[in-house]
Amino acid sequence: MKLLSRQNIPSSPTRPISVLQFGTGNFLRGFADWMIDILNEKTSFNGDIQMVQVHSKKPAQGINSQEGLYHVLTKGVSKGQTIEDSRLIQSVRGAINPFLDYKAYLDLAKIPELRFVISNTTEAGIYFDEDDKDWATTPESFPGKLTALLYHRFQHFDGASEKGLVIIPCELVEDNGKKLKENIKRYIDLWDLSGDFEDWVVKHNFFCNTLVDRIVPGYPLGSGNEIQAQLGFKDEQMVMTEPFYFWAIDGPEWLKKELPLDKAGFDVLFVKDISPYRTRKVRILNGAHTCLVPVAYLKGIRLVKDAMENESTSNYLQKVIFEEIIPAMDQPEENLIPFAEDVLDRFRNPFIKHKLSDIALNSIAKWKVRVLPTLLDYINKKDQIPTGMVQAFAAMIVFYRGHYNGEPTPIKDKPEVIKYFDQIWKIKTPEAVVESVLSKVDYWDQDLNLIYGLSEALIKEVKVLLAQEEG
């Protein structure tokens, strides 16, 4: 079987790099990169993507070994029709690691055709790290890396207004563009960069708030070899996606012309306010995901579709969505219920083997954004504790203990978060553990012990999980 490479795809085009992408993960490869590849085919966009690794300090051997080439496999059911499609993505150049070659990273700023920045660094990715003391060495944070690149571009092009960039973050954070801009301004202050540079950033670079939605579980588990045989190439970087996608972008009026996604047939919205779409998606789809993961995992389930085929977890999730999440929201039910029904159909997709362990990444930060606002709104509206969300909260706390029923739980979070839970679980008593977690103001922006009845309900559910384990 032939290796997927530019040599074995002689017709593979090379275009100017116009898109810089922070993040090499499954989502952007099956979402934005897929769209841009089709955009290149169907319009005069004519721009390639250069990936940048954000957190890893190891080289991106996978995507680079295939010279940026990979397949996107779209499988699922849409409007009663079974969809099965594959596309060879040829618009990605590969990935650069700033930790290994900072000069090569900064040199990307010198590319005249560079126009767009896209990112997906999870909810925890847009932050300010005061330990990033200057831009002379590789900053740890994504906003720090981007600030350094923008400053290098400003210097190289002598502050030319037309060399500003359109920055489209895809992190699932409210006002993601605004917050990214704010963090960049903090780095400008920290690094004592010129006032002219800050003026250039503010006036000639455009930060868009966005909302994205697509389930991209990644490599097709269990069928990879069979699919590679069908494709005729060895492709270890292919990603599986569902047919459904959604992208809302709040940006300047002219952006639609520069990024003509509608001309390529995409249902992408350029809107002035994405907040209703964001709230619906974050609370129903992402909130349901975040609730489901620890509950199902502690029951021994490892895939989303298996959780939906299990009567207990399927009924649990429907209860959480229709009896707790939707009643807590202020939008009309006619806008929420059809979306929720689509979400359940997406979770049931028989073609996608979406690992619960992958969704568990940075669960604490996700819980704060995706579930906690709904839980608090439910309590305020109903004057009672939502039992389903509390069950999920308890399961997450037990999940973060690091083991259950004699098996390790796949915690993927910041080292300090993992260390914290390791320490508090040494306290042993469920009461003390729950009290400590609820009091973490830096996690929740408030002391959740002050919410009447929450601590008691949570302790009860933690004890149930521990008793089930012992039994």
In this prediction, residue 122 carries a pLDDT of: 80
Averaged confidence pLDDT in the chain: 94
| Domain C-terminal end among 247, 270, 293 | 270
> What are φ and ψ of residue 309, in 5° steps?
-85, -10
Both 198 and 237 in one domain: the answer is yes
In this prediction, residue 64 carries a pLDDT of: 95
Both 116 and 264 in one domain: the answer is yes
Q: How far is the C-alpha of 333 from the C-alpha of 335, rounded, in Å?
A: 5
Output b/e per residue, 84-117; b: 16+ Cβ within 10 A: eeeebbbbbbbbbbbbeebeebbebbebeebbbb
Both 319 and 228 in one domain: the answer is no
pLDDT greater than 60 at residue 471: no
Contact status, residue 386 vs residue 335, Cβ threshold 8 Å = no
Q: How far is the C-alpha of 185 from the C-alpha of 167, rounded, in Å?
A: 14
Both 33 and 173 in one domain: the answer is yes
| Domain C-terminal end among 211, 246, 270 | 270
What pTM, to 2 d.p., does this model score? 0.78
In this prediction, residue 452 carries a pLDDT of: 95
One-letter amino acid at 459 equals I
In this prediction, residue 164 carries a pLDDT of: 98
Both 198 and 293 in one domain: the answer is no
Both 264 and 341 in one domain: the answer is no
- Indicate the pLDDT class of residue 302, thresholds 50, 70 and 90: very high
Both 186 and 306 in one domain: the answer is no
pLDDT greater than 70 at residue 139: yes
Query: Could you report the per-residue pLDDT of 321-362, keeping only the tens digit for each?
Result: 999 999 999 999 998 999 999 899 889 888 888 899 989 989
Both 265 and 295 in one domain: the answer is no
Query: Could you report the per-residue pLDDT of 432-449, keeping only the tens digit for each?
Result: 999 999 999 999 999 999
| CATH code, domain carrying 135 | 3.40.50.720
List the domain range (segments joined by +) for residue 74.
Answer: 2-270
DSSP string, 330-361: -S-HHHHHHHHHHHHHHHT-TT---BHHHHTT
For CA atoms 308, 314, 316, 322, the dihedral sign is positive
Both 23 and 119 in one domain: the answer is yes
How many domains would you assign to the chain? 2
> What are φ and ψ of residue 130, in 5° steps?
-65, -15
Total residue length of the chain: 471
| CATH code, domain carrying 322 | 1.10.1040.10
| Domain C-terminal end among 206, 240, 270 | 270
- Indicate the pLDDT class of residue 215, thresholds 50, 70 and 90: confident
In this prediction, residue 428 carries a pLDDT of: 81
What is the percent of the chain with per-residue pLDDT over 90, rounded to a whole number?
85
